Amino acid sequence: MIDVNSHDFPKPRPQPLCPNCGHSSIRITTSVLIHYDIIFDASNHDFAVIDELVGDAMWDETNDAWCPVCGWQGTVGDLRRAHKSLKSPGNTPQK
| Total residue count of the chain as it appears in this document | 95
- Least separation, in Å, of the C-beta of 24 and Zn ion? 10
| Binding of Zn ion by 65 (CB under 5 A) | no
| Binding of Zn ion by 23 (CB under 5 A) | yes
Distances (CA, A) of 22 to 11, 66, 80: 18, 12, 14
| Binding of Zn ion by 70 (CB under 5 A) | yes
- Least separation, in Å, of the C-beta of 59 and Zn ion? 19
| Binding of Zn ion by 26 (CB under 5 A) | no
DSSP-based three-state secondary structure for 25: coil
Q: Answer yes or no: are the C-beta atoms of 92 and 61 closer than 8 Å.
A: yes
| Binding of Zn ion by 78 (CB under 5 A) | no
CB atoms within 10 A of CB 37: 10
- Least separation, in Å, of the C-beta of 20 and Zn ion? 5
